[in-house]
Amino acid sequence: MCRLFALHAGPRAVPATFWLLDAPDSLAAQSRRNPDGAGIGVFGPDGVVRVDKQPLPAYEDPSFATDARDVEATTFVAHVRYASTGALTVENTHPFVQDGRLFAHNGVVGGLDTLDARLRDLGTDGLVRGATDSERVFALVTAEIRRAGGDVGAGLTAAVRWVAAELPVFALNVILATADELWALRLPATHGLYVLERRGGQPLDARSARIHARSQALAGERAVVVASEPMDGESGWRELDPGELVHVRADLGVESSRPAPAGLAHPLTLDDVRASVGERAASSQTAG
């Protein structure tokens, strides 16, 4: 399956070196099992968003390695892709940017004709540059945020409720970020998604049978991390409940809500994905 990662450190820029490349089971290591692409999006202290992404494995992509080691930002969103829909192109590689926001997704959403019609009705079909279900879902989120007068939480909630009620879904794990806030959704229980509220203190020190990673850079720094699985030996990782939406505020306070039922109106099984979307899509949800 695809891997999601986000780090929000409030107003102060911090490096994400440890999290992206050095921690046990880091994204760079995971990309050897998810070989279709990688991308990193960041918001600098000035609030400007920048995305570097390539339809290549992260361990073969020099820009991915450079960003992970050298970029400092207030917010990072990273994604390692195992393609379910759409060709291996930059347009289909996460994270996506719309209206100055970053978005990444893990899972499979069906009923794309129905979703496309909804986007046309809402006037955001032109935001879709590629062929993925993920970018279409993002365009729906963007439409609902606009309809909510710019209220990101309300727009995301409305979009999630519509998808859960109207479309066949295998999994909808989502990360959405602005310059100073972060949202993470797990729906339903298909794939895990974890949050870590780091309060600072000691330097990070993580060990596994294959990697020993240490980061002095985040010593004493508060941060909130979201990832598809625990990425180090910290004991504070918490798995989101099915249907849970986590909101990380600008002050790094964390709020939780349930925008949609833990279940889905039209749940897809892996066999359903295989039959309706194809073997590649089904394999993308079990790889790694």
Tell me the HSE value of 219 on the side-chain side, using a 13 A CA sphere: 8
Phi then psi for 144, rounded to 5 degrees? -70, -35
Residue 188 or 23, more confident: 188
The mean pLDDT of 248-257, rounded to a whole number, is: 96
Q: Which amino acid is at 7?
A: L
Over 90: is that where the pLDDT of 29 sits?
no
3-class DSSP assignment, residue 99: coil
End-to-end C-alpha distance for the chain, whole angstroms: 6
The span from the CA of 58 to the CA of 38, in Å, is: 5
Residue with tokens 């000691």: 202
Residue 219, pLDDT score: 76
Residue pair 231/3 in contact (Cβ under 8 Å)? The answer is no
Residue with tokens 């099915």: 242
3-class DSSP assignment, residue 153: helix
Q: Which amino acid is at 227?
A: A
Q: What is the pTM of this model?
A: 0.89
Q: How far is CA 288 from the centre of its chain?
A: 16
Rounded (10°) CA dihedral 133, 134, 136, 142: 160
Per-residue pLDDT tens digits for 55-81: 877 777 777 766 666 778 889 898 877
Residue pair 81/93 in contact (Cβ under 8 Å)? The answer is yes
Residue pair 262/243 in contact (Cβ under 8 Å)? The answer is yes
Per-residue pLDDT tens digits for 74-107: 898 988 776 666 677 888 998 999 999 999 999 9
3-class DSSP assignment, residue 34: coil
Q: How confident is the model at residue 264 (pLDDT cuts 50, 70, 90)?
A: very high
Residue 263, pLDDT score: 79
Residue 286 or 209, more confident: 286
Residue pair 105/137 in contact (Cβ under 8 Å)? The answer is yes
Phi then psi for 120, rounded to 5 degrees? -65, -40
The span from the CA of 268 to the CA of 258, in Å, is: 21
The span from the CA of 10 to the CA of 19, in Å, is: 17
Structure tokens at 227: 């990832």
Could you tell me whether strands 194-198 and 223-227 are parallel, antiparallel, or unpaired per DSSP bridges?
A: antiparallel
What residue ranges define each of the domains in the chain, with the CATH number in brackets? 3-284 (3.60.20.10)
Residue pair 58/80 in contact (Cβ under 8 Å)? The answer is yes
Q: How confident is the model at residue 214 (pLDDT cuts 50, 70, 90)?
A: very low
3-class DSSP assignment, residue 186: coil
